[in-house]
Chains A and B, each alone.
Chain A
């Protein structure tokens, strides 16, 4: 028997496989396809204080080995989540992690405080990396000063495990991880999407209503992997890695580069059962390589 359990600080996960915010809705959308209880956890769609309609259609464009999106945090707001969605999903036997967003630090704090009362949400992921909103989001995550301010403020308000999600759209991600760790993050997750764009040459029009959007999928994997490695070397807190993971081999690469847990994003759209296949694939890998515990692989790349 191999041991798939991992810990983010005191919080134990049954395995390192979780699904990424914005690619797994509220979990329910996947319940026809898989047993959610098998997942290490799932990160729900980004929450904001107020209802948000997101950006106008079109907000998706396919690219070579990936996709651009500019959904822009569409959600019905934290109160709607608490009264309507949370009661429906709270009894799944897996960790449900809330991804939180705001235009101001006050927004982030209010959302955090409201989540404190929800017993079945053991952690929050502070999203300072959304490239698709005009205010807040990535604006907080590209400068050290504002990243520290929002992390410290949410740290004070938050009674749960605090994961801070970094944007890759910066020059020195290791330095950003270090200052966010210093500001109180229990864990660092990365990467969010890369800012990109696409144009229809025939019509000369952008393919996204917002012109630019966030790139995800296998096309970002080598850069994401390098950033996870950089961050792993820079911080002591556990790292949650993601960016283009399509199968178990990809997941193992992220673990070897320093991830304690991984998130699966865009791959869920193509194969809604991929997360379970990745759990099985990691287990097979451990058996094949005679490794007892998945935690033995974290950062175990041999140079």
Chain B
């Protein structure tokens, strides 16, 4: 595995202008915001700390993966699920509203040595995988996305991901794709599993289950973590995860970790 660091980007704090929302269901949306300058290179896995304005009870910024970066129009898009006050407020912003964003933060995924990769995402955990899928296409990797949700309404953007690879789906109620959790999908039962590397992001129990499968199959696996953060750039040490070499900051030494480095 080789880390595909192109170069280390400077972190920046910048005012962005809301361009538009695209609602995927009543509590999930894409929000596109425009930079006043030139976007730096965004690596797959990078995230941003978005300021939430005028919302009583919200004090800190909120971290969100960068879902897409449009270098022609200098816009960033985030894929956001409403879970509380901050995410709700981002859904209520109007075109032309301005908010401050600190970015690009965090590390990136490794480029696999071999060709066939499986990307497993649950809930908003698919957010970092559009940029990863794009990067893999540039590197001529063969990508399969496995997307899981509770039911049909939770499976969004499958058609977008299809442009960059095959898409497999599981739902817990069986309303779309195979019935069950992502880790129940038949792709894992296959004796000639055939994937050279697995990438995962989503709720912790899901990622741990995927990591277990990867360990059993002896396949390298990277997980993108979503620990609670105060700063997002290494100043507070609040976001740590236990690794085989002590506590590490998810915001600067992650969010992407090789599962073998985690004390899971």
Q: Report A-chain residues with C-beta under 8 Å of the C-beta of B233.
A: 29, 272
Q: A32-B10, A268-B235, A270-B51 are in contact. Are A54 and B60 (CB under 8 A)?
A: no
Q: Report A-chain residues with C-beta under 8 Å of the C-beta of B10.
A: 32
Residue pair B59, A30 in contact (C-beta under 8 Å): no
Enumerate A206-254 residues with CB–CB distance to B below 8 Å: 217-218
B262 interface contact, C-beta 8 A: no
Interface residues on B, range: 20 to 34
A284 interface contact, C-beta 8 A: no
Q: Report A-chain residues with C-beta under 8 Å of the C-beta of B237.
A: 22, 25, 45, 54, 59, 71, 74
Which of B56, B228, B239 counts the most chain A CB atoms within 10 A? B228
Q: Report B-chain residues with C-beta under 8 Å of the C-beta of A29.
A: 233-235, 252
CA distance in complex: A114, B217 (Å): 50
Enumerate B232-252 residues with CB–CB distance to A below 8 Å: 232-242, 246-247, 252
Enumerate A1-58 residues with CB–CB distance to B below 8 Å: 22-25, 29-30, 32-33, 45, 51, 53-54, 56-58
CB distance from A196 to the nearest CB of B (A): 14
B61 interface contact, C-beta 8 A: yes
CA distance in complex: A58, B250 (Å): 12
Q: Which of B51, B238, B247, B252 has a CB less than 8 Å from the CB of A60?
A: B238
Residue pair B59, A63 in contact (C-beta under 8 Å): yes
A110 interface contact, C-beta 8 A: no
CB distance from B49 to the nearest CB of A (A): 9
Q: A53-B246, A57-B241, A272-B13 are in contact. Are A24 and B235 (CB under 8 A)?
A: yes
Residue pair B227, A57 in contact (C-beta under 8 Å): yes
Residue pair A273, B13 in contact (C-beta under 8 Å): yes
Q: A56-B242, A67-B230 are in contact. Are A270 and B60 (CB under 8 A)?
A: yes
B12 interface contact, C-beta 8 A: yes
Q: Which of A23, A65, A273 has a CB less than 8 Å from the CB of B236?
A: A23
B102 interface contact, C-beta 8 A: yes
A64 interface contact, C-beta 8 A: yes
Which of A22, A65, A67, A270 counts the most chain B CB atoms within 10 A? A270
Which of B227, B228, B232, B236 counts the most chain A CB atoms within 10 A? B236
A94 interface contact, C-beta 8 A: no
Residue pair A62, B11 in contact (C-beta under 8 Å): no
CB closest chain-A residue, reference B227: A57
Q: Which of A51, A269, A272 has a CB less than 8 Å from the CB of B60?
A: A269
Residue pair A59, B235 in contact (C-beta under 8 Å): no
B156 interface contact, C-beta 8 A: no
CB closest chain-B residue, reference A73: B237
CB distance from B115 to the nearest CB of A (A): 36
A184 interface contact, C-beta 8 A: no
Main secondary structure of the interface of B (DSSP, over half): loop
Which of A65, A74, A266, A272 counts the most chain B CB atoms within 10 A? A272
Q: Report B-chain residues with C-beta under 8 Å of the C-beta of A71.
A: 236-238
Q: Report A-chain residues with C-beta under 8 Å of the C-beta of B24.
A: none
CB distance from A94 to the nearest CB of B (A): 17
Enumerate B69-116 residues with CB–CB distance to A below 8 Å: 100, 102
B205 interface contact, C-beta 8 A: no
A271 interface contact, C-beta 8 A: yes
Enumerate A56-83 residues with CB–CB distance to B below 8 Å: 56-67, 69, 71, 74
Residue pair A23, B235 in contact (C-beta under 8 Å): yes
Q: Report B-chain residues with C-beta under 8 Å of the C-beta of A269.
A: 60-61, 230-232, 235-236
Residue pair B235, A272 in contact (C-beta under 8 Å): yes
Q: Report A-chain residues with C-beta under 8 Å of the C-beta of B51.
A: 270
Residue pair B59, A62 in contact (C-beta under 8 Å): yes
Residue pair B59, A270 in contact (C-beta under 8 Å): yes
CB distance from B173 to the nearest CB of A (A): 24
CB closest chain-A residue, reference B102: A272
Residue pair B230, A69 in contact (C-beta under 8 Å): yes
CB distance from B234 to the nearest CB of A (A): 4
Residue pair A69, B60 in contact (C-beta under 8 Å): no
CB distance from A118 to the nearest CB of B (A): 22
CB distance from B36 to the nearest CB of A (A): 16
Residue pair A69, B13 in contact (C-beta under 8 Å): no
Q: A33-B13, A62-B60, A273-B13 are in contact. Are A25 and B242 (CB under 8 A)?
A: no
CB distance from B63 to the nearest CB of A (A): 12
Q: Report B-chain residues with C-beta under 8 Å of the C-beta of A67.
A: 59-60, 230
Interface string of A257-278 (1 = CB under 8 A from B): 0000000001011111100000
Q: Report A-chain residues with C-beta under 8 Å of the C-beta of B252.
A: 29
Known contacts A45-B237, A60-B238, A269-B235; 19 further A-B pairs (Cβ under 8 A) = A23-B235, A25-B235, A32-B10, A32-B12, A33-B12, A33-B13, A54-B240, A56-B242, A59-B238, A60-B228, A60-B229, A61-B228, A62-B59, A64-B57, A71-B237, A269-B231, A269-B232, A272-B231, A272-B235
Give the B-binding residues of A (Cβ under 8 A): 22-25, 29-30, 32-33, 45, 51, 53-54, 56-67, 69, 71, 74, 217-218, 266, 268-273
Question: What 4 pairs across the A-B complex have the smallest Cβ distances?
Answer: A60-B238, A269-B231, A29-B234, A32-B11
Give the A-binding residues of B (Cβ under 8 A): 10-13, 51, 56-61, 100, 102, 227-242, 246-247, 252
Return 7 A-B CB contacts under 8 Å, by A number. A25-B237, A57-B247, A59-B237, A67-B230, A71-B236, A269-B231, A269-B236
